[in-house]
């Protein structure tokens, strides 16, 4: 469990090596194993036989976080508080044996795993770009449980610790050094231990800043008038951005403010109280369920992937189209170790795509994610061309040209002629049926849809669409390609809007309907964001294009035939398109106005054509209309086998189009809301607004 080694300089090295596990985990077993070790170290110190301690790992990682399955079931705040206090006591024992302790970090240390590193007096990490460090707990609706918020506040100050905790980023060692959560970098394992011993031999202090009688938090406390004012501004900004829907984010700023005004021991206890409240709340359950368990089920366990096919390991990827989407996909492939051939109609246009990739690489070098010496190696793996013949050795080709059926089919045939019989051909489309496009392919069984969301290099989900003739093996290969470039693949049926656009359209249509009902446009947009959506429905309508919004609704009419009831938003969309010639962002005229510079603003003439007649409104009802419409449509998609896995529906909704993260996704929202309560509310909405709020059997059963 813990290997104990002592050298002639009286430096003890503790090597974490939990038996029966591929990774070290900071749980009750490790804490129990540490207790006698800490007692022995204290005895050695008292006897004058201990100069310092190094903690490192025998595993490929340093230390992983806590047991999320246990936290999902944790509902008693008292139990949560006691558990946090127990962990804090252990970490406190580690940092006060009277000798300096170094964390020699040779692998990942995240969440609770990084708590131990923070409890050490000095932190040195291997300079490997693959290692990730930090506290991403906020990404799953939690805050650190072992006092990291308080320690980071004391080490960095409130204003530097706050964004670090709020963003929940996983830092490379180089980034971690920049932000100040580690102290040194080491070239290799030998250098790691050598540097740790050198630091211990320099007679460093053995007391932490918060244990010094004159110790002060860098930058001051919330009791200081100027800093207190800035904290209030940060709190207000957070409330504006999140509508206070994320308890963990609010807990971080409140804890930093309160914890800065008291001594370390009291702040430690306040920290446990905030943790207990957050971890037992509904939001943390929703977010852990989706952002951890659902994500692991798809990415690591292959949920939805056709079984019986070996792992596809692409080496070279061809990309047709050097625009923003194609260049973003190229960058993704390079970042994940693949070779890329980027093609466009001319060499200069293809080279512009390479320039975009260079901009992204330089941006990541500036952040510290990539190192300067990696730049040339990354660029050596991309080739630009205007010739399809250069796709000859590609394992998969992704077509990312603009949304035109004939153009897509033309470039597909040109490329396919140069590929071998086993290569996969993928089209990135948002509205053209894959079966239609695939019928023109030379090998339709190898033809598949991969819908990347924009921007490709930043979004997490891709939709994999199976055409009528697409083979199961091709779907499996597309799935493996997606996971290779760190995407979450969601397999969907080849139908109108696929899954994401079909469900998102219900949100847009509901917003347009409200406009037609006489609600102010600004109110509609604000209520959409207050419900937790990342963007208002009218802004999304403009972004997608009003013609496409209407096209999806027309495709729904064709799909359902005589059962179809026209959505009340249709007349307003037709008016915007046909009468007012305002088609959206691409036309630079929609529900918003788009100047040459500056942000888009709501169209000043909107009130003239859609008069405001509502003098009162109910916030809860408006929010429910926005969210319930999407949940109901997700239910229809599951019932019609457009998508088959609730986990995939949750991930696609939060990552694909911005359904509120605090809910955990459309299906998780239904579960946490409660079936009977949801059905009752839908009945009320159906009676008031019509058949579109009727609930499918899938959700009723």
Q: Indicate which residues carry an active-site annotation.
A: 115, 137
Residue found under tokens 């930043």: 458
Q: Which residue has the tokens 């503790």?
A: 14
Beta-bridge partner residues of 398: 319, 426
Q: Measure the CA dihedral 58/63/64/66, to 10°.
A: 120
**C-alpha–C-alpha distance, residues 214 and 603, integer Å:** 58
Can you say whether residue 673 is alpha, beta or left, with left for phi > 0 and alpha for psi between -120 and 50 degrees? alpha
**Cβ(647)–Cβ(303) below 8 Å:** yes
Cβ within 8 Å of residue 155, ≥6 positions away: 118, 161, 180, 181, 209, 218
- Provide DSSP, 16-27: E--TT-SS-B-S
Tokens coding 665: 């996704």
Nearest alpha carbon to residue 450 among 350, 314, 310? 314
In sequence order, the 6+-apart residues with CB closer than 8 A to the CB of 449 are 426, 427, 428, 429, 434, 437, 463, 464, 465, 466, 467, 494, 498
- CB atoms closer than 10 angstroms to residue 35: 11
C-beta separation of 334 from 328 below 8 A = no
CA 263/CA 208 separation, integer angstroms: 13
Three-point CA angle 233, 235, 241, nearest 5°: 105
CB 643 within 8 A of CB 304: no
Specify whether the CB–CB gap between 672 and 686 falls below 8 A: no
Calculate ∠ Cα 405-406-412, nearest 5°: 90
What 3-state class would DSSP assign to 641? Answer: coil
Q: What is the spatial distance between Cα 634 and Cα 90, in angstroms, rounded to a whole number?
A: 46
Q: How far out from the chain centre does Cα 213 lie?
A: 42
Query: Residue 19 CA to chain centroid, in angstroms?
Result: 32
Q: Is 334 helix (H, G, I), strand (E, B) or coil?
A: helix
Q: Within a 13 Å sphere around the CA of 588, how many CA atoms are in the beta-carbon half?
A: 4
Question: With contact defined as beta carbons under 8 Å apart, do 628 and 685 qualify?
Answer: yes
Phi, psi of 408 (to 5 degrees): -60, -45
Distance, in Å, from the CA atom of 41 to the CA atom of 94, rounded to the nearest integer, reads: 10
CA–CA gap between residue 172 and residue 130 (Å, rounded): 7
Residue 597, token pair as written in the block? 């510079």
Strand partners, 396: 317, 424
d(CA 14, CA 11): 10
In the block, which residue shows the tokens 């897509």? Answer: 408
Q: Can you tell me the distance from the alpha carbon of 467 to that of 445, in angstroms, rounded to the nearest whole number?
A: 8
> Contact, 661 vs 287, CB < 8 A?
yes
d(CA 340, CA 381): 6
What tokens were used for 700?
Answer: 């009723």
Encoded tokens for 76: 């008693």
Q: Are 18 and 29 in contact (CB under 8 A)?
A: yes
Distance CA 666, CA 664 (A): 7
Task: Say how many C-beta atoms besides its own lie within 10 A of residue 130's C-beta.
Answer: 10
């Amino acid at each position: 469990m813990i290997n104990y080694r002592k050298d002639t300089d009286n430096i003890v090295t503790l090597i974490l090596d939990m038996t029966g596990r591929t990774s070290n985990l900071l749980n009750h077993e490790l804490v129990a194993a540490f207790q006698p070790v800490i007692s022995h170290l204290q005895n050695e110190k008292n006897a004058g036989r201990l100069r310092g301690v190094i903690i490192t790992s025998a595993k490929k990682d340093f230390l992983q976080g806590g047991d999320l399955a246990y936290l999902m079931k944790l509902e008693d705040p008292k139990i949560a508080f006691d558990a946090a206090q127990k962990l804090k006591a252990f970490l406190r024992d580690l940092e006060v044996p009277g000798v300096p302790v170094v964390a020699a970090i040779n692998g990942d240390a995240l969440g609770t795993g990084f708590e131990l590193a923070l409890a050490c007096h000095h932190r040195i990490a291997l300079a490997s770009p693959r290692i990730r460090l930090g506290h991403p707990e906020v990404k799953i609706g939690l805050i650190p449980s072992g006092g990291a918020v308080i320690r980071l506040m004391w080490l960095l100050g409130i204003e530097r610790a706050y964004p670090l905790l709020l963003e929940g980023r996983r830092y490379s060692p180089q980034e971690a050094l920049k932000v100040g959560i580690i102290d040194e970098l080491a070239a290799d394992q030998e250098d790691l231990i050598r540097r740790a011993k050198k630091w211990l031999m320099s007679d460093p202090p053995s007391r932490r800043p918060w244990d010094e009688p004159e110790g002060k938090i860098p930058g001051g406390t919330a009791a200081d008038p100027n800093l207190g004012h800035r904290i209030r501004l940060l709190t207000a900004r957070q409330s504006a951005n999140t509508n206070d829907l994320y308890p963990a984010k609010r807990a971080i700023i409140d804890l930093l403010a309160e914890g800065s005004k008291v001594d370390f021991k009291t702040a430690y206890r306040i920290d446990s109280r905030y943790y207990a409240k957050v971890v037992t709340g509904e939001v943390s359950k929703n977010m852990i369920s989706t952002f951890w368990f659902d994500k692991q089920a798809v990415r690591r366990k292959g949920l939805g992937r056709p079984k019986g096919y070996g792992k596809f390991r692409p080496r070279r990827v061809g990309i047709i189209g050097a625009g923003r989407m194609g260049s973003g996909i190229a960058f993704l492939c390079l970042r994940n170790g693949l070779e890329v051939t980027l093609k466009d109609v001319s060499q200069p246009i293809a080279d512009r795509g390479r320039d975009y990739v260079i901009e992204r690489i330089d941006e990541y070098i500036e952040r510290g994610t990539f190192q300067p010496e990696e730049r040339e190696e990354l660029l050596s793996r991309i080739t630009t061309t205007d010739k399809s013949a250069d796709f000859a050795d590609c394992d998969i080709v992704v077509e990312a040209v603009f949304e035109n059926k004939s153009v897509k089919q033309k470039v597909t045939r040109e490329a396919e002629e140069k590929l071998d019989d086993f290569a996969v051909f993928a089209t990135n489309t948002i509205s053209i049926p894959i079966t239609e496009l695939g019928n023109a392919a030379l090998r339709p069984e190898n033809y598949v849809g991969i819908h990347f969301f924009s921007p490709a290099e930043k979004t997490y989900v891709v939709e994999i669409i199976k055409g009528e003739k697409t083979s199961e093996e091709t779907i499996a290969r597309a799935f493996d390609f997606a996971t290779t470039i760190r995407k979450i693949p969601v397999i969907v049926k080849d139908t109108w809007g696929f899954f994401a656009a079909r469900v998102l359209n219900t949100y847009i249509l509901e917003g347009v309907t409200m406009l037609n009902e006489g609600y102010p446009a600004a109110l509609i947009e604000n209520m959409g964001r207050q419900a937790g959506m990342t963007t208002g429905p009218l802004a999304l309508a403009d972004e997608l294009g009003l013609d496409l919004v209407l096209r999806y609704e027309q495709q729904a009419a064709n799909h359902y035939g005589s059962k179809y009831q026209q959505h009340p938003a249709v007349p307003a969309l037709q008016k915007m398109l046909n009468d007012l010639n305002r088609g959206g962002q691409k036309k630079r005229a929609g529900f918003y106005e788009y100047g040459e510079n500056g942000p888009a603003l709501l169209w000043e003439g909107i009130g003239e054509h859609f008069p405001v007649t509502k003098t009162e409104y109910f916030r809860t009802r408006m929010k429910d209309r926005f969210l319930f419409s999407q949940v109901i449509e997700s239910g229809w998609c599951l019932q019609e086998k457009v998508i088959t896995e609730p986990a995939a529906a949750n991930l696609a909704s939060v990552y694909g189009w911005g359904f509120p993260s605090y809910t955990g996704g459309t299906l998780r929202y239904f579960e946490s809301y409660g079936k009977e309560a949801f059905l009752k509310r839908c009945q009320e909405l159906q009676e008031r607004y019509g058949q579109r709020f009727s609930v499918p059997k899938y959700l009723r059963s």
